[in-house]
């Protein structure tokens, strides 16, 4: 009987190897990715049945990566794995196209159960976020209105800037001009009411876009 295949996306090798050990031999881990921007290409190459992805990925966070995967037509099930006990992030992950939201504090048995559930086409939420998730679902939008007003490109720029990239580096990574990168930064600061790079970093940390 064919085993379901899994791609693990996490920037910590120990986490990747730990997840591999917990998921095999029941599943076949066919590959891994250490930054969010490489996940879509690996998904196209490996065609996994399931992608297990951390939210706090360098280059492109797990939620925006999930959104890009869905927009590109990726059929894989997606299980977001995170240390963030945050129902708002859980809702945003599901809205972006994820099939599950699992805390890194989960047991090995819960990890395997979550993988099985999403592979069957069901939505899985860690029990610790379920109650708050139902409350969050009743709100008009996830996070805040200013964040929701940012374009997908602006969210990419925000993360790269928060990671310490220069305008030139952002432009090179996103294949845009330096002037365009600077314009996006200006729009981000205006929409979010930010004045300094330090405030930008604090915002990114507070919203689970980057970790320290």
**CATH number, residue 180:** 1.10.10.10
Query: In 3-state terms, what secondary structure has residue 207?
Result: coil
Is pLDDT above 80 for 134? no
Listed residue (87, 86, 88, 68) closest to 78, CA to CA: 68
pLDDT at 166: 94
pLDDT digits (tens, 9 = 90+) for 70-123: 999 999 999 999 888 888 888 889 999 999 999 999 999 999 999 999 999 999
Size of the chain in residues: 212
Listed residue (93, 12, 7, 112) closest to 49, CA to CA: 7
Environment class of 97 (CB within 10 Å of its CB; exposed 0-12, middle 13-18, buried 19+): middle
Please indicate, yes or no, whether residues 187 and 103 belong to a single structural domain of this protein.
no
Q: Identify the sign of the CA torsion 136, 141, 145, 150.
A: positive
Please indicate, yes or no, whether residues 196 and 151 belong to a single structural domain of this protein.
yes
Please indicate, yes or no, whether residues 12 and 117 belong to a single structural domain of this protein.
yes
Please indicate, yes or no, whether residues 109 and 60 belong to a single structural domain of this protein.
yes
Whether 191 contacts 155, CB under 8 Å: no
Domain count within the chain: 2
Q: How high does pLDDT run on average in the chain?
A: 90
Domain of residue 170, residue span: 145-206
Residue entry with tokens 């976020």: 129
* CATH code for position 88: 3.40.50.2300
pLDDT at 144: 58
pLDDT digits (tens, 9 = 90+) for 6-38: 999 999 999 999 999 999 989 999 999 999 999
Please indicate, yes or no, whether residues 98 and 200 belong to a single structural domain of this protein.
no
Domain boundary among 112, 137, 162: 137
């Amino acid at each position: 009987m064919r085993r379901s295949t899994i791609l693990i996306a996490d920037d910590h090798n120990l986490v990747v190897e730990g997840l591999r050990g917990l998921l095999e031999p029941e599943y076949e881990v066919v590959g891994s990715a250490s930054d969010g921007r490489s996940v879509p290409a690996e998904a196209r190459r490996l065609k996994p049945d399931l992608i297990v992805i951390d939210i706090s990925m360098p280059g492109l966070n797990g939620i925006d990566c999930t959104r890009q995967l869905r927009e590109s037509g990726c059929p894989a099930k997606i299980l977001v794995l995170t240390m963030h006990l945050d129902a708002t992030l859980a809702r945003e992950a599901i809205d972006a196209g994820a099939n599950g939201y699992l805390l890194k504090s989960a047991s090995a048995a819960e990890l395997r159960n979550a993988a099985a559930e999403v592979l069957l086409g069901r939505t899985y939420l860690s029990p610790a976020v379920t109650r708050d998730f139902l409350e969050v679902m009743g709100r008009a939008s996830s996070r805040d209105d200013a964040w929701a007003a940012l374009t997908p490109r602006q969210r990419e720029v925000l993360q790269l800037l928060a990671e310490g990239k220069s305008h030139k580096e952002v432009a090179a990574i996103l294949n845009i001009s330096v002037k365009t990168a600077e314009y996006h930064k200006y729009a981000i600061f205006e929409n979010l009411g930010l004045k300094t790079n330090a405030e930008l970093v604090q915002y990114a940390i507070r919203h689970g876009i980057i970790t320290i």
